[in-house]
Amino acid sequence: MFIDEYISGVAPIRGKILLVDDQVVNIKILHQLLQTDYDIYMARDGHQAIDMCKKVKPDIVLLDIEMPMLNGFDVCAHLKKDPDTEDVAVIFVSGHFDEDKEVKGFQLGAVDFIHKPINPVITKARIKNQMMAKSQTDLLRSIALLDGLTGLANRRKFDQVLPVTWLQCAREKQPLTIILLDIDFFKHFNDTYGHTEGDTCLRVVAQKIQDTVNRPYDLVARYGGEEFICVLPNTDLIGGTYVAQQIVDSIVSLKIAHINSPISKFVTVSAGVSTVVPMYDMPNKILVEAADKQLYLAKDRGRNRVLGCLVEENT
Ligand SMILES: [Mg+2]
């Protein structure tokens, strides 16, 4: 998927709003006002609000300030501290105008204030504006993690995903496999056909890898120039090697002409696979280093092939 398709594909149709108020009547009023345009969720106290934010990931929270136990400020501070919820747009709903309170709210990271009793037109307009700002920010954030040429995840996204996947597999005592792929003799390809054709080749190969690695929790990223990396949680070495071989075979079957490749008439790739059952105290870079070593060996032994290894606990 390329950037332009991506942009047209992800425009949110309906935003999600969480209404938080200890008074049912206030929730009812806002619900009535907003339900036709947005998906509405509700919470009656601060703890519930935090739980709901983690669960439903709303775009906007309309947050009452005056609540027993955890008040709105406490909830906002909590949401902004947690990476899971820090991106939510908080709009405070306050019983009366109080400049000091507004200052405090903005300092805590709120994006706007609405006063009760709410004015329906103003409230709707402000929420619409914030929803637009939120969706544009979300879009920029996701584009920043995409590779512009191939539309795959980029290196930054990989650097974000690997530690999270590592911890998840460590927690579940599940194997984690990565596949490092490199197009064989890509410099020859560029020298022969030019960089425009080189770019096309990268796109086609990227798409093929993405099509082959298709479980929802797998990640395929462009790792460097003509290098790609796959992160496969809950996958052992046999499974990972199988996937890598499928990729290698599928690239040959594309029959992209490469007349100056010393090993084939067509574009080929080499793959290094490494698998580990992660431990919390292991650095995750050992997995990448191991795959890199296997990739090097695969190149050394003739390219267009897969080599893999298990990373042991004490390596
Ligand atoms: Mg209240």
Q: What are the pLDDT digits (tens) for 211-239?
A: 999 899 999 999 999 999 999 999 999 99
Residue 286: pLDDT over 90: yes
Percentage of the chain exceeding pLDDT 70: 95
Q: Which CATH number fits domain 3-143: 3.30.1280.10, 3.20.20.210, 3.40.50.970, 3.40.50.2300?
A: 3.40.50.2300
pLDDT greater at residue 79 or residue 95: 79
Ligand 1 center–CA 120 separation, angstroms:
19
* 117 preceded by a cis bond (ω within 30 of 0): yes
Domain ranges in the chain are: 3-143, 155-310
> Which among 102, 197, 226, 227 is annotated as catalytic?
226
The residue ranges of DSSP E strands in the chain, in sequence order, are 16-20, 39-43, 60-64, 89-94, 112-115, 176-183, 219-222, 227-233, 269-276, 306-310
Give per-residue pLDDT as tens, 95-150: 878 899 999 999 999 999 999 999 999 999 999 999 999 999 999 988 999 999 99
CA of 113 to the centre of ligand 1 (A): 14
Residue 294 has pLDDT above 90, yes or no: yes
To the nearest whole percent, how much of the chain has pLDDT over 90?
A: 89
Interval between CA 84 and ligand 1 midpoint (Å): 25
Confidence band of 13 (pLDDT split at 50, 70, 90): low
**Who has greater pLDDT, 42 or 98?**
42
**Ligand 1 center from residue 117 Cα (angstroms):** 12
User: 88 alpha carbon to ligand 1 midpoint, in Å?
Assistant: 21
Residue 227 appears among annotated catalytic residues = no
pTM for the model stands at 0.74
**CATH number 3.40.50.12640 is the correct assignment for the domain at 155-310:** no
